[in-house]
Amino acid sequence: MGMFDEIIVPRSYLRNLLNKEDERLFKKDHVFQTKDLDNVMDLYKVHRRQLFRLNRSEIALKEGVQHTSLADQWDKVRDNIDINFHDHLKDRKGDEYSVEFEFTFKNGKVDKKKLISLNLEKTKAERELIDEMWDIEQEIFDDFRSTSLKYRFFSWLEGHLNKMTNWARKKHRLPIELRKMAYEKSGRLEKDPKSLNIYMDV
């Protein structure tokens, strides 16, 4: 699936694109995913028709937590850009939908809005049938996994070989200091200050 960013869009910005029933699918400040920005798990929002990006340099966010407060620092984005954003939703009956919008920004201000698609993906009844099929299949597979000696042996062997592979990979990983020096000399770090980020937690 790859990296993406999130964008908070108030439901009020979607009203003229949806009917009243479809509006109920969305939260007051709905969080969508987009691949049209930097794709580094940044958080954006639309507020007073202006696009903003959360300034994470001032915030110590816990891993996996995207909640923000009024004290957070938001920076204006002044780009001319088309942003497609999407989500998967459930209604009160449990039916599942996919939705995609496109907003056009000029100098960071909302200029045009468009609903690309709003589709019913699965009804609750359809999902329950799929879950039932999955449960039957998994019961058969689990029985095989627990009784087949050949399966259990090679599963055990795979686990140990994976541990050895991961250990060896760590032993020949390039030091972050070396990568930083190389990026500084090549000019990559000046051009893209975030280029080292993906190696920090490896």
Each residue of 84-143: pLDDT tens digit?
A: 999 999 999 999 999 999 999 999 999 999 999 999 999 999 999 999 999 999 999 999
Q: Are 27 and 11 in contact (CB under 8 A)?
A: yes
Q: pTM score > 0.95 for this model? A: no
> Residue 10: which pLDDT band, with cuts at 50, 70 and 90?
very high
* Cα–Cα dist 98/119, whole Å: 5
Phi/psi zone of residue 49: left (φ > 0), alpha (ψ -120 to 50 degrees), beta?
left
Instruction: Give helix 124-147 / helix 149-171 axis angle, nearest 10°.
Output: 100
Domain layout of the chain by residue ranges: 5-122, 125-200
Q: In which residue are the tokens 């998994």 written?
A: 138
pLDDT of residue 63: 45
* Cα–Cα dist 75/5, whole Å: 15
> Residue 60: which pLDDT band, with cuts at 50, 70 and 90?
very low
DSSP H or E segment with residue 115: strand 109-122
